[in-house]
Protein backbone atom coordinates (compact mmCIF):
# COMPACT_ATOMS: atom_id res chain seq x y z
CA UNK A 1 0.00 0.00 0.00
CA UNK A 2 1.29 3.43 -0.90
CA UNK A 3 1.90 5.40 2.26
CA UNK A 4 1.40 9.11 1.62
CA UNK A 5 3.96 10.93 3.69
CA UNK A 6 2.92 14.10 5.44
CA UNK A 7 4.83 17.29 4.70
CA UNK A 8 7.89 17.43 6.98
CA UNK A 9 7.10 21.02 7.95
CA UNK A 10 3.61 19.99 9.07
CA UNK A 11 5.11 17.28 11.28
CA UNK A 12 7.56 19.87 12.62
CA UNK A 13 4.65 22.24 13.35
CA UNK A 14 3.04 19.52 15.48
CA UNK A 15 6.34 19.01 17.32
CA UNK A 16 6.80 22.75 17.87
CA UNK A 17 3.18 23.11 18.99
CA UNK A 18 3.75 20.49 21.70
CA UNK A 19 6.85 22.26 22.93
CA UNK A 20 5.31 25.75 22.82
CA UNK A 21 2.20 24.71 24.72
CA UNK A 22 4.34 22.94 27.32
CA UNK A 23 6.51 26.05 27.80
CA UNK A 24 3.40 28.21 28.03
CA UNK A 25 1.92 26.01 30.77
CA UNK A 26 -1.07 25.03 28.65
CA UNK A 27 0.06 21.40 28.50
CA UNK A 28 2.00 19.73 31.29
CA UNK A 29 2.74 16.02 31.26
CA UNK A 30 -0.74 15.61 29.78
CA UNK A 31 -2.72 16.91 26.83
CA UNK A 32 -2.04 16.53 23.11
CA UNK A 33 -1.86 18.27 19.74
CA UNK A 34 -2.86 16.93 16.33
CA UNK A 35 -3.03 18.08 12.71
CA UNK A 36 -5.09 16.73 9.86
CA UNK A 37 -2.82 15.01 7.32
CA UNK A 38 -2.05 17.42 4.47
CA UNK A 39 -2.29 14.74 1.73
CA UNK A 40 -5.07 12.57 3.10
CA UNK A 41 -7.98 14.18 4.99
CA UNK A 42 -9.00 10.75 6.36
CA UNK A 43 -5.86 10.74 8.50
CA UNK A 44 -4.44 12.87 11.23
CA UNK A 45 -1.01 13.23 12.83
CA UNK A 46 -0.36 13.04 16.57
CA UNK A 47 2.37 11.85 18.90
CA UNK A 48 2.46 8.50 20.61
CA UNK A 49 1.79 8.52 24.38
CA UNK A 50 4.47 10.93 25.53
CA UNK A 51 4.71 14.13 27.59
CA UNK A 52 4.28 17.06 25.18
CA UNK A 53 7.60 18.66 26.15
CA UNK A 54 9.41 15.53 24.99
CA UNK A 55 7.75 15.04 21.60
CA UNK A 56 10.04 14.80 18.57
CA UNK A 57 9.31 14.24 14.87
CA UNK A 58 9.92 10.49 15.15
CA UNK A 59 7.15 10.25 17.74
CA UNK A 60 4.44 11.54 15.37
CA UNK A 61 2.15 8.78 14.07
CA UNK A 62 -0.61 8.77 11.45
CA UNK A 63 -4.09 7.85 12.72
CA UNK A 64 -7.37 7.03 11.00
CA UNK A 65 -10.08 9.70 11.30
CA UNK A 66 -12.69 6.91 11.11
CA UNK A 67 -11.41 4.77 13.94
CA UNK A 68 -9.04 6.95 15.94
CA UNK A 69 -6.51 4.13 15.71
CA UNK A 70 -2.97 4.38 14.32
CA UNK A 71 -2.25 3.17 10.80
CA UNK A 72 0.48 0.73 11.75
CA UNK A 73 0.93 -2.73 13.13
CA UNK A 74 2.06 -3.18 16.72
CA UNK A 75 1.74 0.51 17.64
CA UNK A 76 3.46 1.93 20.71
CA UNK A 77 1.46 3.12 23.71
CA UNK A 78 -1.13 5.72 22.63
CA UNK A 79 -3.02 8.60 24.21
CA UNK A 80 -6.23 7.30 25.81
CA UNK A 81 -8.15 10.32 24.56
CA UNK A 82 -7.19 10.08 20.88
CA UNK A 83 -10.93 9.81 20.04
CA UNK A 84 -11.32 13.52 20.82
CA UNK A 85 -9.25 14.20 17.72
CA UNK A 86 -10.71 11.57 15.38
CA UNK A 87 -14.31 12.48 16.18
CA UNK A 88 -13.75 16.20 15.62
CA UNK A 89 -11.94 15.67 12.30
CA UNK A 90 -14.84 13.47 11.24
CA UNK A 91 -17.51 15.99 12.26
CA UNK A 92 -15.75 19.17 11.12
CA UNK A 93 -14.13 19.07 7.65
CA UNK A 94 -12.96 22.67 8.21
CA UNK A 95 -10.81 21.70 11.20
CA UNK A 96 -7.12 21.15 10.43
CA UNK A 97 -5.70 21.08 13.97
CA UNK A 98 -6.90 20.13 17.46
CA UNK A 99 -5.41 20.81 20.90
CA UNK A 100 -6.74 19.08 24.00
CA UNK A 101 -5.52 20.55 27.28
CA UNK A 102 -6.27 20.99 30.97
CA UNK A 103 -5.01 24.57 31.27
CA UNK A 104 -5.43 25.84 34.84
CA UNK A 105 -7.20 29.19 34.36
CA UNK A 106 -9.74 27.73 31.94
CA UNK A 107 -10.69 24.83 34.20
CA UNK A 108 -12.67 26.89 36.75
CA UNK A 109 -14.97 27.97 33.91
CA UNK A 110 -15.77 24.30 33.28
CA UNK A 111 -16.66 23.83 36.96
CA UNK A 112 -18.40 26.98 38.22
CA UNK A 113 -22.11 27.07 37.57
CA UNK A 114 -23.77 30.25 36.43
CA UNK A 115 -20.66 31.74 34.80
CA UNK A 116 -19.50 31.22 31.24
CA UNK A 117 -16.20 31.90 29.56
CA UNK A 118 -16.73 34.92 27.30
CA UNK A 119 -14.43 36.87 25.01
CA UNK A 120 -13.41 39.82 27.20
CA UNK A 121 -10.43 41.26 25.33
CA UNK A 122 -9.54 41.96 21.73
CA UNK A 123 -7.00 39.12 21.52
CA UNK A 124 -9.67 36.53 22.26
CA UNK A 125 -12.42 37.17 19.72
CA UNK A 126 -12.27 33.50 18.71
CA UNK A 127 -14.23 32.72 21.89
CA UNK A 128 -17.28 34.42 20.40
CA UNK A 129 -19.71 33.21 17.79
CA UNK A 130 -19.53 29.96 15.87
CA UNK A 131 -17.68 28.89 12.75
CA UNK A 132 -20.51 30.45 10.77
CA UNK A 133 -20.51 34.07 11.77
CA UNK A 134 -23.55 35.27 13.60
CA UNK A 135 -24.08 31.85 15.18
CA UNK A 136 -23.02 33.16 18.57
CA UNK A 137 -25.77 33.42 21.12
CA UNK A 138 -23.62 35.42 23.53
CA UNK A 139 -23.58 32.46 25.87
CA UNK A 140 -19.90 31.64 25.40
CA UNK A 141 -18.33 28.37 24.29
CA UNK A 142 -20.25 25.15 24.96
CA UNK A 143 -19.53 23.04 28.06
CA UNK A 144 -19.48 19.26 27.71
CA UNK A 145 -21.06 17.31 30.58
CA UNK A 146 -19.81 13.73 30.39
CA UNK A 147 -22.48 12.55 32.84
CA UNK A 148 -25.12 13.22 30.20
CA UNK A 149 -23.50 10.54 28.03
CA UNK A 150 -21.75 8.06 30.31
CA UNK A 151 -23.19 8.40 33.81
CA UNK A 152 -21.58 9.64 37.00
CA UNK A 153 -18.88 7.01 37.49
CA UNK A 154 -16.41 7.74 34.67
CA UNK A 155 -12.82 9.00 35.03
CA UNK A 156 -14.01 11.96 32.87
CA UNK A 157 -11.75 10.90 29.97
CA UNK A 158 -12.91 10.60 26.36
CA UNK A 159 -11.99 6.93 26.08
CA UNK A 160 -14.20 5.80 23.20
CA UNK A 161 -15.35 6.76 19.73
CA UNK A 162 -18.86 7.23 21.15
CA UNK A 163 -17.72 9.77 23.73
CA UNK A 164 -15.59 11.48 21.09
CA UNK A 165 -18.66 11.83 18.87
CA UNK A 166 -20.67 13.25 21.77
CA UNK A 167 -17.94 15.80 22.44
CA UNK A 168 -17.79 16.77 18.75
CA UNK A 169 -21.56 17.27 18.75
CA UNK A 170 -21.27 19.53 21.80
CA UNK A 171 -18.49 21.51 20.08
CA UNK A 172 -20.80 22.10 17.13
CA UNK A 173 -19.55 25.02 15.04
CA UNK A 174 -17.55 26.60 17.89
CA UNK A 175 -13.75 26.93 18.15
CA UNK A 176 -13.45 25.62 21.69
CA UNK A 177 -15.46 23.26 23.85
CA UNK A 178 -15.00 23.24 27.63
CA UNK A 179 -15.14 19.88 29.40
CA UNK A 180 -16.61 19.91 32.92
CA UNK A 181 -14.03 19.16 35.59
CA UNK A 182 -11.49 18.14 32.95
CA UNK A 183 -10.23 20.78 30.51
CA UNK A 184 -10.94 22.02 27.02
CA UNK A 185 -10.49 21.18 23.35
CA UNK A 186 -9.56 23.87 20.85
CA UNK A 187 -9.90 23.57 17.06
CA UNK A 188 -8.54 25.69 14.22
CA UNK A 189 -7.77 25.90 10.53
CA UNK A 190 -4.04 25.44 11.22
CA UNK A 191 -1.67 24.20 13.93
CA UNK A 192 -0.45 27.75 14.49
CA UNK A 193 -3.97 29.06 15.09
CA UNK A 194 -4.80 26.15 17.40
CA UNK A 195 -1.74 27.04 19.47
CA UNK A 196 -2.63 30.74 19.47
CA UNK A 197 -6.20 30.04 20.59
CA UNK A 198 -5.03 27.65 23.30
CA UNK A 199 -2.63 30.22 24.73
CA UNK A 200 -5.15 33.05 24.58
CA UNK A 201 -8.07 31.05 25.98
CA UNK A 202 -5.91 30.80 29.10
CA UNK A 203 -5.14 34.56 28.98
CA UNK A 204 -8.82 35.39 28.57
CA UNK A 205 -9.81 33.11 31.45
CA UNK A 206 -7.35 34.87 33.77
CA UNK A 207 -8.52 38.32 32.67
CA UNK A 208 -12.17 37.42 33.00
CA UNK A 209 -11.70 36.01 36.51
CA UNK A 210 -9.79 39.14 37.55
CA UNK A 211 -12.44 41.42 36.06
CA UNK A 212 -15.26 39.48 37.71
CA UNK A 213 -13.55 39.96 41.08
CA UNK A 214 -13.74 43.71 40.48
CA UNK A 215 -17.36 43.84 39.37
CA UNK A 216 -19.74 43.32 36.50
CA UNK A 217 -18.07 42.30 33.26
CA UNK A 218 -18.61 43.63 29.73
CA UNK A 219 -17.76 40.99 27.11
CA UNK A 220 -17.11 41.63 23.44
CA UNK A 221 -20.25 41.61 21.32
CA UNK A 222 -20.42 38.99 18.59
CA UNK A 223 -19.56 41.67 16.02
CA UNK A 224 -16.59 42.92 18.05
CA UNK A 225 -15.41 39.36 18.58
CA UNK A 226 -15.55 38.64 14.86
CA UNK A 227 -13.76 41.85 13.86
CA UNK A 228 -11.06 41.39 16.52
CA UNK A 229 -10.55 37.74 15.58
CA UNK A 230 -10.05 38.51 11.90
CA UNK A 231 -7.53 41.28 12.67
CA UNK A 232 -5.48 39.43 15.27
CA UNK A 233 -5.47 35.97 13.75
CA UNK A 234 -4.21 37.39 10.47
CA UNK A 235 -0.97 38.03 12.34
CA UNK A 236 -0.59 34.55 13.81
CA UNK A 237 2.90 34.14 12.33
CA UNK A 238 4.26 36.77 14.72
CA UNK A 239 3.48 35.03 18.03
CA UNK A 240 4.19 31.63 16.46
CA UNK A 241 7.70 32.62 15.45
CA UNK A 242 8.44 34.16 18.84
CA UNK A 243 7.04 31.23 20.80
CA UNK A 244 8.82 28.70 18.58
CA UNK A 245 12.12 30.45 19.19
CA UNK A 246 11.47 30.53 22.94
CA UNK A 247 10.42 26.90 23.06
CA UNK A 248 13.52 25.71 21.26
CA UNK A 249 16.08 28.12 22.71
CA UNK A 250 16.82 26.35 25.98
CA UNK A 251 17.18 22.84 24.67
CA UNK A 252 20.26 21.27 26.14
ZN1 LIG B 1 -7.88 15.25 28.99
Catalytic annotation present for 162? no
pLDDT tens digits along 186-200: 999 999 999 999 999
Q: What is the pLDDT of residue 133?
A: 41
- For the cut 50, the answer to whether the pLDDT of residue 24 exceeds it is yes
pLDDT reported for residue 32: 98
How is the beta sheet containing 43-47 ordered, strand by strand? 60-64, 43-47, 32-36, 97-101, 183-188, 176-179, 143-144
Determine the distance separating the centroid of ligand 1 and the alpha carbon of 216, expressed in angstroms: 31
Please say if the pLDDT value at position 182 is more than 60. yes
1 has a pLDDT exceeding 50 = no
Query: Which tops the pLDDT comparison, 135 or 238?
Result: 238
Residue 146 pLDDT grade (very low, low, confident, very high; cuts 50, 70, 90): very high
74-88, 118-132, 223-237: lowest mean pLDDT where? 118-132
pLDDT band at 177 (very low <50, low <70, confident <90, very high): very high
- Checking if the pLDDT of 166 tops 70, the result is yes
The rounded distance, in Å, linking the Cα atoms of 137 and 241 is 34
pLDDT of residue 39: 95
**Residue 102 CA, ligand 1 centroid: distance in Å:** 6
Q: How confident is the model at residue 251 (pLDDT cuts 50, 70, 90)?
A: low
Calculate how far, in angstroms, residue 41's C-alpha sits from the geometric centre of ligand 1: 24
**Residues 228-237: contacts with CB under 8 Å, at least 24 apart:** 228/119, 228/122, 228/123, 228/124, 228/125, 229/125, 229/126, 229/128, 230/125, 231/122, 232/122, 232/123, 232/125, 233/126, 233/193, 233/196, 236/190, 236/192, 236/193, 236/196, 237/192
Whether the per-residue pLDDT at 55 is higher than 80: the answer is yes
Q: How far, in Å, CA of 163 to CA of 183, rounded? A: 15
Distance 222 CA to ligand 1 centre (A): 29
Q: What is the residue-averaged pLDDT of the chain?
A: 93
Residue 36: what pLDDT?
98
Query: Which residue has better confidence, 163 or 1?
Result: 163
Report the pLDDT value the prediction gives residue 138, as an integer from 0 to 100: 59
Cα-to-chain-centroid distance, residue 189: 11
3-state secondary structure of 55: coil
Catalytic-labelled residue, pool 3, 69, 73, 81: 81
Amino acid sequence: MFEAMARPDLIQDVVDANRILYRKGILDAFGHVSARHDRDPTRFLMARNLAPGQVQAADILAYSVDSGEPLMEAPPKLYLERYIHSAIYQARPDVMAVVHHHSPAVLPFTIARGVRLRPVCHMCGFLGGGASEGAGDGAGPPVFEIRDHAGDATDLLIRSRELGAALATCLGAARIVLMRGHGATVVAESVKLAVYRSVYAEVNAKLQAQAMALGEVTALSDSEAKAARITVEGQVERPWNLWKQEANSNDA
